Amino acid sequence: MPESTTVRVARATRDHLNRLSAERGETVVSTIEQGLQLLEWEGLRKQTELDARRLGADAADRAEVAAALRDLTGVTLPLDA
């Protein structure tokens, strides 16, 4: 068995974890691991959105993205807006 430790949480949090795990038919450890993974993915998604907005503000960047999409898909998209 992997090394483990105790983490102090409020009883309401413990109960919430237990209830959620039971509803999903998985262990509390699995529920926590999945939650952590989702938090990491959400952070990456937010950063990607910020980067896309920043790049979208520049006409040259928009043209470069449009050209790359056209090369990859053969589809011309209106990215000049």
Segment 11-57, tens digit of pLDDT: 999 999 999 999 999 999 999 999 999 999 999 999 988 887 887 77
Report in angstroms the alpha-carbon separations of 21 from 8, 32, 43, 60, 75: 18, 9, 23, 49, 45
Query: Is 23 inside a domain boundary?
Result: yes
- As given in the structure block, the two tokens for residue 63 are 């043209």
The DSSP letter of residue 53 is: H
Question: Could you give the number of structural domains in the chain?
Answer: 1
Query: Is 34 inside a domain boundary?
Result: yes
Whole-structure pTM over 0.95, yes or no?
Answer: no
Query: Is 29 inside a domain boundary?
Result: yes
Query: Is 41 inside a domain boundary?
Result: yes
Q: Identify whether the C-beta of residue 63 lies closer than 8 Å to the C-beta of residue 70.
A: no
Calpha distance 22→16 (Å, rounded): 10
Range of the domain at 31: 11-73
Q: What angle do CA 67, 73, 75 make, to 5 degrees?
A: 70
Query: Is 81 inside a domain boundary?
Result: no
